[in-house]
Amino acid sequence: MASGYRVLTKSRFRSSTVWIGWNATAAHLSQQLPPSPRTHGQTLSPMETPGGMSCHTWARWLKEITVSFLNVPGAQLYYDVSGEGLPLVFVHGAGANSTVFFQQVAHFNKQYRVICLDMRGFGRSYADPESFHPRQFSEDLARILDVEVDGPVVAVCQSMGAWAGLPLAVREPDRFHALVLSGSPTPAYGPHHKVLEVVSERFRRVAAGEKVPPQDLGFSEHFVREHPELIALYQMLARMNQKLDLSTITDPELRLMPEHFIDYQIPTLVMGGLQNKLLGPNTHMVAASCIPGAQAYTFTESGHSSYFEEPEHYNRVVEEFLHANGHAPSNKE
């Protein structure tokens, strides 16, 4: 563990007897509200499992999960770990928090060791608002990796999460086997960064309490029309977050310029949705062109949050990318 950083608490639960309340929305949209970040679990009888699932079904979904809080300068970070195998880290965007990856966790923790973190100020992680700045994201990710892994990982970073994964990959490439960036302009600087002004403006409106249509936050028209319950879930997750100033994500100090990528060799996949009204349909293509060797993939049927709108398709693309780069799981169920 890195000097000066401390795991505040770590608890392990087995799913047949314990419900992690803030993950209850996962597969069947339980109506439970998330408990305090300091409440780690609640024992329920088999008849009280979330969403009315049988105990065995719930056990298969959740398996065994370890939840932890890590103290770092200016913040307390929450993360959870489930499954065994190659470490696969998910880093969320500005619209929600780590729980939004429930459809990825349920898929990948069967064959990988899945680590999901709440970025500082999001979900169950706390941030000092006076010192908060996106420059801290990559350091936060590094500190969690210091605690939880002994070697390289694969990181999947959504939107704002790219400001955690890509700078760390550039700075410390030995930490990564591969990197997936989705729904993001990424910090790789280019003409596409003009879209960050639009993003900052829309999230300022959200933070001010203004009702912003889901389509303006990047959801596709048909998803909003056909899945109002999932839009409601996403909005509930967003309300768990602190109100923080994210406009500083456009600060020049965060830009990764061509000279930063001179020795970059990490296999990288940049993905985006064609129906993304927040970033536009081609931003991910331009972002990929700014990262040496990066591949690009387009989801034609979804918008900014393809992992949420079409999870089976998204999971398959990520899985194929991992396999193509030699990171297939050693044991299959």
pLDDT of the residue at 8: 56
Tokens standing for residue 325 = 């780069």
Asked whether residue 333 is domain-assigned, the answer is no
pLDDT computed for residue 203 by the predictor: 79
Please provide residue 91's backbone torsions phi and psi, each rounded to the nearest 5 degrees: -125, 120
The per-residue pLDDT for 28 is 33
Q: What pLDDT is recorded for position 227?
A: 97
Q: Based on the structure, what is the number of domains in the chain? A: 1
Distance CA 170, CA 262 (A): 9
Q: Is 285 a domain residue?
A: yes
Pairing mode of beta strands 113-118, 176-182: unpaired
Domain contains 37: no
| CA neighbor of 260 nearest in space, from 293, 287, 292, 285 | 292
Asked whether the beta carbons of 29 and 51 are under 8 A apart, the reply is yes
SS3 readout for 277-289:
CCCCCCHHHHHHH
- Domain encompassing residue 116: 81-324
d(CA 269, CA 297): 7
What pLDDT does 276 receive? 95
Q: What is the pLDDT of residue 41?
A: 36
Which token pair is 142? 């590094």
Alpha-carbon span 147 to 86, nearest angstrom: 15
pLDDT at 10: 55
Here the CATH number for the domain that contains residue 159 is 3.40.50.1820
* Domain assignment present for 59: no
Residue matched to tokens 């210091």? 146
- Record the tokens describing residue 93, joined without a space: 């965007």
According to the model, what pLDDT value does residue 220 have? 97
List, in sequence order, every residue forming a beta bridge with 180; answer none if it has no partner. 156, 269
Phi, psi (rounded to 5 degrees) for 158? -100, 130
pTM flag (> 0.85): no
Assess if residue 153 is contained within a domain.
yes
In a domain, 39, yes or no: no
**pLDDT at site 64:** 78
Using CA atoms, how far apart are residues 215 and 161, in angstroms rounded to an integer? 20
Give the contacts of 166 (CB within 8 A, at least 6 positions apart): 157, 179, 181, 186, 187, 188, 256, 291
Amino acid residing at 115: I
* Structural domain includes residue 51: no
Give the span between the Cα atoms of 212 and 18, in whole angstroms: 37
**Which residue, among 195, 161, 157, 212, has the nearest Cα to 278 in the 3D structure?**
195
C-alpha triplet 87, 88, 91: angle, nearest 5°:
130
The tens-digit pLDDT sequence of the chain (333 residues) is 444 555 555 554 433 222 333 333 333 333 333 333 333 333 333 334 444 445 555 455 555 789 999 999 999 999 999 999 999 999 999 989 999 999 999 999 999 999 999 999 999 999 999 999 999 999 999 999 999 999 999 999 999 999 999 999 999 999 999 999 999 999 999 999 999 988 888 878 877 778 889 999 999 999 999 999 999 999 999 999 999 988 899 999 999 999 999 999 999 999 999 999 999 999 999 999 999 999 999 999 999 999 999 999 999 999 999 999 999 886 544
| 215 assigned to some structural domain | yes
Question: Which element (helix H / strand E) includes 61?
Answer: helix 55-62
